[in-house]
A = this chain, B = another copy of it.
Amino acid sequence: MQAAEAVETIQREMTVFARRARASAGRLHPELSLVSYTLLGHLEESGGCRATDLAALHALDKSTVSRQVAALERAALIERRVDPEDHRVQLLHLTDAGRRILAQVTESRRAAFRERLAEWPPGDLERFAEYLVRYNAWGAPPAG
């Protein structure tokens, strides 16, 4: 395979993947859309942050994040705490229920990936992971 052809293939396969991901988003875990999942995931990692941070990180409009956050709060998966240092700011935190649901969905997704990748030789898995990281890192804010 030539390098130019490889680029074509990568483009085509990434498109296929994006289309499938879009189509199946929300069907796997009706409780937690892909966006909600990543929002919760970031709250878990960061230990709480502002809605504006989430919007910037995910390239979403703040209104969209506001509504997602409202939905997650209604579902009691997160809670808002007004920042004592700046009363405009709401610091978002996972609730115990949120942590639990996030862990469930993560585990379910993990199982699906494990099954899908079960036949892969370890060396291929490692290289594939490395390539994806490199691919996604392109144009990303450093350490963002």
Contacts and interface: CB of A to CB of B under 8 A. Distances in A.
A59 B2 CA distance: 32
Contact of A132 (B9, B34, B109, B136): B9
Interface of A: 1-3, 5-11, 13-25, 34-35, 37-38, 58-60, 109-110, 113-114, 116-117, 120, 122, 124-136, 138-139
A129 B13 contact: yes
A55 to B, nearest CB: 11
Contacts of A10: 113, 117, 125, 128-129, 132
Given A11-B109, A59-B24, A135-B116, A18 B19 contact: no
A38 B19 contact: yes
Contacts of A15: 34, 37-38, 109
Contacts of A8: 110
Interface centre among A7, A20, A124 (most CB of B within 10 A): A7
A16 B136 CA distance: 8
A19 B34 contact: yes
Contacts of A124: 131
B23 A21 contact: no
A9 to B, nearest CB: 4
